Amino acid sequence: MLGKLIKHEFKATTRLLLPIYLVLIALAMICKLVHSLDIFKGILSLIPGTIKIVYIISIFASLLITVVLTVMRFYKNLVSDEGYLMFTLPVKASGLISSKLLVSVCWLLINAALVYLTYLFVFPGKTKQIIESLLSIIELEFGSRSTFLITEFAIVMLISIVDTILLFYVSIAIGQLFYRHKIAFSAAAYIGVYTIYQFIAAIILLIVSLFSNDFIFSITALSRIIFPFFIFFYLALAVALYTATNYIFSKRLNLE
């Protein structure tokens, strides 16, 4: 049943997100074409720069829209009137949450890959130069541990994406407990939960730093302390947020 839910979710979200990504690709192609032409003189010289700005804005807009649309779909399917139908399906609340979470993460990864590929297409020399510079810095600082560091960083980024989505989910789950103004209470819950986990992270990070003299001042502490800490913390946070969301929808569902 989970596979069917994921398949259905992909189909539904594709109709929403595909046009956004096609616009991003189209702007990248236009930007590449305009910058390859040497025909803009005088006042027309503003055109390449303007198109470049529009393309850069579209990169951030595509990410924001992806998050907003997937979160809105979660709210609409599970908390609004559609929730009556969704929760009558022969599947547990965890299945509904998991299907939407997996699809949302996939779309964010697709979005990141698309941004990278379009940027590489528009600015191939600059992109390669940035990547080579970053790899050179990592190699200089960490030597043979560079691959391990990059892997740690990738894991941190992936888990943080999951946490970001789950933070919206648990906020919506808390907001639906109220009979009125569910969106407002969801927003308030988001601010509250976000503030709490940021405070906890800061406290734990401060405590850990007390046991390492070079924690703040040495970049080599990244692979030994900072990244492992955030991997563990974000994993624990993901489990807590998922468990809370599942509990609320399983035991405290309020669709009135």
Each residue's pLDDT, cut to its tens digit, for the chain (256 residues) gives 777 888 888 888 999 899 999 999 999 988 888 777 766 666 666 777 788 888 889 999 999 999 999 999 999 888 887 777 777 878 888 889 999 999 999 999 999 999 989 988 888 877 677 777 766 766 665 555 567 777 777 888 899 899 999 999 999 999 888 888 888 999 999 999 999 888 887 887 777 666 655 554 455 555 666 777 788 888 999 999 999 999 998 888 777 6
Same domain, residue pair 80 and 146: no
Provide the pLDDT for residue 121.
87
Q: Is 62 within 8 Å of 111 (Cβ atoms)?
A: yes
Q: Are residues 104 and 83 in the same domain?
A: yes
For residue 224, the model assigns a pLDDT of 64
pLDDT for 197 equals 83
The verdict on 163 and 243 lying in the same domain is yes
The verdict on 247 and 156 lying in the same domain is yes
152 and 202: one domain?
yes
- Of 61, 95, 122, which residue is a domain's last? 122
pLDDT of residue 217: 45
**Sign, CA torsion 99/12/194/93:** negative
Q: At what angle do helices 182-209 and 227-251 cross, to 10 degrees?
A: 150
Based on the fold, state whether residues 67 and 109 are members of the same structural domain. yes
Domain match, 148 and 35 both: no
Residue ending a domain, among 76, 96, 122, is: 122
Same domain, 4 and 93: yes
pLDDT of residue 125: 72
- In terms of residue numbers, what domain contains 25? 1-122
Query: Are 213 and 145 contained in the same domain?
Result: yes
Same domain membership, residue 70 and residue 172 = no
Q: What is the pTM of this model?
A: 0.84
d(CA 25, CA 115): 9
Residue at which a domain ends, from 95, 122, 149: 122
Q: How many domains does the chain have?
A: 2
Q: Are residues 176 and 225 in the same domain?
A: yes
149 and 168 both lie in a single domain: yes
